[in-house]
Amino acid sequence: MGLDIRLPIGLLFSIFGVLLIGYGALGDKSIYARSLDVNINLWWGLIMLGFGLVMFVLGKRGTKMKV
Amino acid sequence: MLQTIDWAIMVVYFVFVVGIGVAVKRYVKTSTDFFLAGRSIPAWVAGLAFLSANLGAQEVIGMGASGAKYGISTSHFYWIGAIPAMVFVGVFMMPFYYGSRARSVPEYLRLRFDEKTRGLNAISFAVMTVFSSGISMYAMAKLIQILHIFDAPFRMMGLPQPWIFHFSLVISALVVLAYILLGGLTSAIYNEVLQFFLIVAGFLPLVYLGLKDIGGWSGLKANLDSSYMHSWAGMTNAHTNRLGVEWFGLAMGLGFVLSFGYWCTDFLVIQRAMAADSMSSARRTPLIAAFPKMLFPILVILPGLIAIGLPMQKMMNTNPAAVVSGGKGLIPPKMDAVGQPIVDRNGVAELDYDLATPNMLLHYFPTGLLGLGLTALLASFMSGMAGNVTAFNTVWTYDIYQSYINKGASDEHYLWMGRMATIFGILLSVAAAYMATRFNNIMDMLQLVFAFVNAPLFATFLLGMFWKRTTGHAAFTGLLGGTIAAALHHGLTLPEGGMAGVKGGWLETMHTYPSEMAQNFWTAIFAWTTCFVLTIVISLVTRPHKEEDLKGLVYSLTERPKEGHLSWYARPATLAIIVLGLTLVLNIIFR
């Protein structure tokens, strides 16, 4: 099918990543008591952004996954 | 409770869901595009969709609940109750499903057997999918109410709180309707892949935080009775393990009859493989799905275990607001209609296990990640719903409408019919969801009837695909006989402590099973065996089909698919061996 699914996945995860990183870096830090004092928004946001970018780049290059 | 950032995540997700429908709309030109995604889906996409279509409400919430109730033995539903069947359908059955060019599972039955066998399967399947998607919708709307997701915005707009239920139903129906109408199976599959990644993204940090809090694996062990921590220990006797089943009932009932009956014959999942771009992709679809499937217990069962094991001390330290009195760990007691905890005969409070996973999210996730977690939860409900709707519109259009109502119309007409079927399929699901709110017992009975209809199915397919002598009359009678056997067995047995009625024993109680699960497994075993024997006997006394009509439909009359162009590691047989080997290792580690 014409649309490479990796593009929307990459885009969505990148947006989520940026949102979470922004909120984790700038927002109130006292909310992280419940997540065991881990700034989970920041860290998980970074991971999601990384994954999103990889998916997006793979989709852009149109490399066929060899599975 | 939810802040702007949480809403932003949810809204962005829904924009993407519908956006995918809009983006693939221009590729939908024929009915094959709409119902089978133009048979153009790459293996890994079809594989993740195969997994995701099954990943409805029952899975994420239900497996968390079972994890809290039964512990690690819940993983049998994956390692015994899914993986072997997924390998079997990919390696042995897909050549006939995909190779026969059948457009649906009932259509395969038409090609292999006859019209009446197809009709029986198509009609029961269509009814089942509508009710399943209705139940999914109902569960989602209920959960949204319980978690108070829309309470604040409704209060702000001055709307009455009971409307939240209606609003949740309507909005989920509209979203699913929009993207399926636009892009058909392609957009359903694409969204399922998106949902797969989202569910992983939403639940992985939950498992991380939960495990970190309870002190890792050793901390979990220290806080739970050892019966929670093993999958096989105590399986020699139904009374010495948490499931209440003995190994034979488990292996035959769950591992063979129920699991093969679902993964190998249910069009909801098979449709994803039929949409693959080639025979080898179709065969690899369930095998690729098997890899994440075998690791899913980490994501869905472990949160339940942590929820029940979490000591009070730790909960007070991190999030005192989430602590409920009278429960165990993060799991609250079940309440009756007037808000009193429900107790069993021994005066012990019954726990509301279904809240295990949602409460874990609320307990650990701060604003931001909470939006992501809840979005993942909603995504899982929607993928289950959409899976049912796409399977329904295909079976309705090809196997009921085209076969019995309007033969020989143009392809555009069937494409139009598919879109109409999507609309009334969703309307019927909404009606089913409301029925569930009014008549809970009717829903329980319907699910029971579906279980009776499904239990014998795999015997018919197994004989049909691997024994060319099997005839149409035999298949049809076998299916009916198996269903009747299931109903009779259920009517004559009861689980321990159960009351005669919807739990069984409505004819007479001849045997008592140690648990409801054991009763279900044995009902399935009886149904399957009856169908198997009946089909063989009747086949031998009825006239066989002509061999030239069975080419491509039966094992002995079909050429083996050629896999020579694939590298050795990408061949279905290689994947199958790796999957089975890893599953064995998992069973040994967590025995």
At B453-493, the pLDDT tens digits run 888 999 999 999 999 889 999 999 999 999 999 989 988 88
Give the distance from residue B18's alpha carbon to the nearest chain A alpha carbon, in angstroms.
Answer: 12
* Inter-chain touch A40–B42, beta carbons under 8 Å: no
Q: Which residue of A has its CA nearest to B39?
A: A1
- CA-to-CA distance for B3 and A27, rounded, in angstroms? 12
| Domain-wise residue ranges, chain B | 4-25+43-438, 445-559
Q: What is the mean pLDDT of chain B?
A: 86
- pLDDT of B356-380, one tens digit each? 888 888 888 888 899 999 998 888 8
Closest-CA distance, A22 to chain B, in angstroms, reads 10
Look at B367 and A27 and tell me if their CB atoms are within 8 Å: yes
- The pLDDT value recorded for residue B313 is 67
pLDDT at B478: 93
* For residue A8, pLDDT beyond 60: yes
Among the ranges given (B85-99, B191-205, B395-409, B444-458), the one the predictor scored with the smallest mean pLDDT: B444-458
Of chain B, the percentage scoring pLDDT greater than 90 comes to: 28
Chain A positions touching B52 (Cβ under 8 A) are: none
Residue A50 pLDDT more than 90?
yes
Beta carbons of B368 and A65 less than 8 Å apart: no
B457's CB contacts (< 8 A; 6+ apart) are B121, B261, B265, B479, B482, B531
User: Complex ipTM, two decimals?
Assistant: 0.92
B343-357 mean pLDDT:
78
Distance from CA of A36 to the nearest CA of B (A): 7
Judged by CB atoms closer than 8 Å, whether chains meet at A27 and B368 is answered as: yes
**B284 vs B334: which has the higher pLDDT:** B284
Nearest-Cα distance to chain A for B14, in Å, is: 11
Interface of chain B toward chain A, CB-CB under 8 angstroms: 5, 8-9, 12-13, 16, 19-20, 23-24, 26-27, 37-38, 40-45, 47, 186, 190, 193-194, 197, 201, 205, 209, 212-213, 284, 288, 318-319, 363-369, 372, 567, 570
pLDDT at A65 over 60: no
* pLDDT single digits (tens) B520-570: 888 889 999 999 999 999 999 988 888 888 888 888 887 777 777 777 777
The answer, yes or no, to whether residue B412 has pLDDT greater than 80, is yes
- The winner for highest mean pLDDT among B65-69, B349-353, B416-420, B582-586 is B416-420
Task: Name which of A45-54, B173-182, B209-218, B441-450 the model is least confident about.
Answer: B441-450
pLDDT in tens, B414-428: 999 999 999 999 999
- Who wins on pLDDT, A62 or B18? B18
Chains A, B: CB pairs < 8 Å: 104
Can you give the pTM of this predicted structure? 0.90
Chain A residues with CB-CB distance to B under 8 A?
Answer: 1-3, 5, 8-9, 11-13, 15-16, 19-20, 23-24, 27, 31-36, 38, 40-41, 44, 48, 51, 64-67
Superfamily of domain B4-25+43-438: Sodium/glucose cotransporter (1.20.1730.10)
The predicted structure's pLDDT at residue B174: 92
Which of the pair, B225 or B186, is modelled with greater confidence? B186
Task: Spell out which residues of chain B touch residue A21, defining contact as CB-CB under 8 Å.
Answer: none
Sequence ranges of the domains in chain A: 7-61
Top pLDDT among B265 and B562 is at B265
**Average pLDDT of the segment spanning B299-317:** 81
**In a 10 Å sphere around its CB, with 0-12 CB exposed, 13-18 middle and 19+ buried, how is residue B358 labelled?**
buried
pLDDT at B556 (0 to 100): 80
Residue B14 has pLDDT above 80, yes or no: yes
Residue B347 pLDDT greater than 80, yes or no: no
Residues whose CB is less than 8 angstroms from the CB of residue B433 and which lie 6 or more positions away in sequence, other chains included:
B134, B135, B137, B138, B141, B169
- Read off the pLDDT of each residue in B153-159 and give the average, rounded to a whole number: 84
Q: What is the pLDDT of residue B474?
A: 92
Q: How would residue B326 be classed by pLDDT, with cut points 50, 70 and 90?
A: low
**What is the mean predicted confidence (pLDDT) over B222-247?**
77
Neighbours of A57 (CB within 10 A): 12
Query: In percent, how much of chain B has pLDDT > 70?
Result: 96
CA-closest candidate to residue B472, choices B549, B528, B573, B405? B549
Nearest to A16 among B209, B288, B372 (CB): B372
Three-state helix/strand/coil letters over B246-282: CHHHHHHHHHHHHHHHHHCCCHHHHHHHHCECCHHHH
Please give the Cα distance from B462 to B328 (Å, whole number): 45
Backbone angles phi, psi at B41, to 5 degrees: -90, 130
Out of A20, A48, A66, whose CB is closest to B570? A66
Characterise B101 by phi-psi region: left (phi > 0), alpha (psi -120 to 50), beta (else).
Answer: left
Task: Kindly indicate the confidence band of residue B345, based on its pLDDT and cuts at 50, 70 and 90.
Answer: low
